[in-house]
Structures are given as C-alpha cells and as structure tokens.
Amino acid sequence: MCVLLQDLTRQPTAASPDPWPTTTLFAEGQATCGGVPLHEIAERFGTPAYVVDEADIRLRCRDYRTALPDATIAYAAKAFLCRGMADWIRREGLALDVCSAGELAIARSTGFPTERMIFHGNAKTPAELREAIGVGRIVIDNLAEIHRLAALVPPGRRQRVLIRVIPDIEAGGHPKIRTGAEGQKFGLSIADGEADAAVDRVLGQPELELVGLHCHLGSQIASAEPYRRAARIMVEQLARIRDRHGVVLPELDLGGGQAIAYLEGEHGLDLREYAATVPTEISRACREYGLPIPHLIVEPGRSISGPSGVTLYRVIAIKSGPGGVFVAVDGGMSDNPRPGLYDARYTVRMIGRRSQSGSRTVTVVGRHCESGDVIARDVALPADLRPGDLLGVAATGAYHHSMASTYNATGRAPVVAVADGQARLLVRREEPDDLLRRDVGL
C-alpha cells in the first residue's frame, strides 16, 4: 500500500489556502481523498468517521526535513497519535514528542526508537517519570520534578533533560492556546528566577545531563516573527548559563505551534519563511554572544497532521426558524470539541451527490445535549440539502481524535487511512460493548 508513497517528493511551499488534504479531488458532487471516494468510506465504515490522508502526512514530514535539514523535527503526538501514525513518523525519520504514559506506550508498541522521543508535561506523575526514564529527552517543567526524576535514574546512568523556560511572548490563535507568556501553567519563569533555579538544581544532579533549553509559544501561530523573537531570547539564556556556570548547552528546542488553514482563503505559517527566519536569527544571536550554534529542535504537530484529516458526517435533521437554519448531524462535540473550546471555525462541503440548487447559510450542529454543540457556524451549503446527505469537514486531522470523548455514552469515531486508492482501518469505532466493559459497577 505504501509503494507509491516512496516516490512522493516536493519542495517546501508557502502555506496553502486550501484546507483539504493534498490528494483531495472534487468533481460532479463527488470527492476522493487518497484516490478513495469519500462516500464509499462512509458506506463501508459508517459515520462519523475520521479520514486521514497518509500521503499528505508523509509529504508534510518531508517538507519539514527539507526546509530544516540540520534540525531535529519532533512530531507533537498530542495533535494526533495512533500506532499507524507513529509508524509513519518513524519511517519518515522524525522524532516524537509525547506528553503522557499513554502516548509513550503507543509509540513503544510500534518499536519507535526510544532515543528519538521527547517527553513533555507540566505535571508528570511519578509513574510517568519512571516510565520515561531512558527516552531521548525529558523536558523539565517545574522545580519539584528535578529531584524526583534524579531519584529514579538507575545507578551508573544519566538522563538527558531540557528545561522549559517562559520567553514571555504572546502568540497563538486563541488565548486558551497561548503558552509562551507569563501567567500560565507551562514552563519556568525567566523573570522571577525560577529558570535560573532549575538550571542550578539540574547541574547539581549527577544523574541528570542538561543538554539544552526548551520553549513553546502556543498554537496556530501564523507568522515567523514570534519565533524569531523567541530564538533571540533563548540564545540570551544560553549565554547567561555559560557566563554563570561555564557550561555551553548544545541544544535549543523552540517547540511547535505552526498554524494551518481551516477556512478556504486562510493561510497557515509559511514554512519557507520560518526556515529562513529562525536559523538566521539563532546564528546572528550566537555570533553576538560568542556561542557555538546549538542544534535546533522543532515540534510541529497540527501543521503535519491537521490538513490531512477530513471528518465525515450524515445529516440527520434540518430545522428552520427565527434563529436560522440548523443542520444536525450524527456527530458533534464528542468528536470535535474545538468550536466549543476555542471558537474554531471550519470548512464544510456536501459530498456524494451533485446539488441541483443554489446555497444557503446554515449552522451545522451536533447530536449532543448541549446548546454549544456546534461544528460550524454560518457556512454555505446547498439549499436542497436533506437528511441522509453526507458532509465532509476539512482540516480535522489534529486535536479531534486525540480530544474525542464518550459524552452521552457515544462511542468514539473510527480512524480510516487512505493511500494509493485504498482505505484501511487504523482505529476501530468504539461500540456500546466497549463502554460496558469499562463499567464494572454491577
């Protein structure tokens, strides 16, 4: 199934204004992705269903490696992870950023190289720290875990760590996904001295090897400028550590957060701009401070998996009234909580048949018992839309499957991969029997 994928190459491009996966084609009311008609996927696997374009994901991995050939590209698993995805990331030569024992277990079950993993988390449990011992890097996010981690390292070994600091830069598409400024839960403050204290403590632990600094500004960042400013601040901190301790740290991790397009006409972060801006600023700042250039690590998540995904729904009912037209589908906030959390907006199309009428503005809503269960507000869909029609929602490859719930005891949707004209199941649908197996109260 992956034979043709080996021949896919391209140069990194400016962020596309098209939110659909690379291989998507629309014609005569039909839509195909990865060479597979989407209506056939709905018929075979049911709805709701997540569809992921394997070629799209793997091309985006290669885009990052081509744009930043001297950097380590660590895919952020929190965006979307299953064993199939971990295998693609491994085969494309990327590292993997995980933030829980569960994500670590999924990666390990595929044989993902431990040395190519970075373990994150602002509140890692003792059990998670124990499981993480031996991964390539553990990111220190609070002072308490330094001694806790050191105590877990077996005699004669050293655990490589990064320290996450707060560069105090506001960036990101929504206040709830901005993580680089003071006043939020992630990282150690430069301003109040916590970052310095963390460096002191780690350097005083022979079981730990401090290899660099880490920061993460937030998500849906559409400009390279915040990253440029972060790079300079982080190099300043590397110079400060050298001056205070006589230690030159070899690595600098600038996190992820690169934006994608969710609506037609939107642009995500231009990877070429990022690749031209960030390494240049690091080199400039290192010259000014007399430092060797550190090895760069970046952690894209959404920008690799997000555009690859399409979610399929069946229309259940249509209501018209003073509040507008509501199109209710068989999924909702259990498979996409982002509109409720972040006011996220999406591109929606009817697929599977050719419309014989014009369009009208509707709100696509879910089936759950919440008035906030909205998938897409004010979208144009055919005026002759009717129950049973199939809808596709673009750019749902990140933070959909990974944030899905069983609200109203609704089983989570399956994940179906498409490539080279074939579809295969990556994650099966969660059925009522699965929910009952967890309920041991009787």
Q: Are 221 and 258 in contact (CB under 8 A)?
A: yes
User: How far apart are alpha carbons 382 and 166 in whole angstroms?
Assistant: 48
Distance CA 425, CA 406 (A): 20
**Alpha-carbon 347 to chain mean position:** 19
Nearest to 346 by CA among 303, 307, 289, 382: 307
Q: Is the dihedral of CA 311, 314, 315, 316 positive or negative?
A: negative
Other Cβ atoms less than 10 A from the Cβ of 57: the count is 29
Q: Is the dihedral of CA 186, 172, 190, 234 positive or negative?
A: positive
Nearest-10 crossing angle of helices 144-152, 194-203:
20
Take residue 157 and report the two structure tokens written for it.
């070994």
For 164, the 3-state DSSP assignment is strand
Q: Give the number of C-alpha atoms closer than 13 A to the C-alpha of residue 299, restricted to the C-beta side.
A: 26
Q: What would the DSSP string read from start to end of 223-277?
A: -SHHHHHHHHHHHHHHHHHHHHHS----EEE----B----STT-----HHHHHHH
- Do 300 and 271 touch, CB atoms closer than 8 A? no
Name, in order, each residue with C-beta under 8 angstroms of 87's C-beta and a sequence gap of 6 or more: 110
In the chain, the amino acid numbered 258 is Q
Contacts of 85 (CB under 8 A, 6+ apart): 52, 57, 77, 305, 426
3-class SS at 57? Answer: helix
Strand 30-33, strand 25-27: pairing = antiparallel
For 317, the 3-state DSSP assignment is strand
| Rounded Cα distance, 254 and 216, in Å | 6
The residues facing 296 across adjacent strands are 252
Identify the sign of the CA torsion 223, 228, 234, 238: positive
Q: Would you name the residues annotated as active-site residues?
A: 369
Judge contact between 379 and 348, C-beta under 8 A: yes
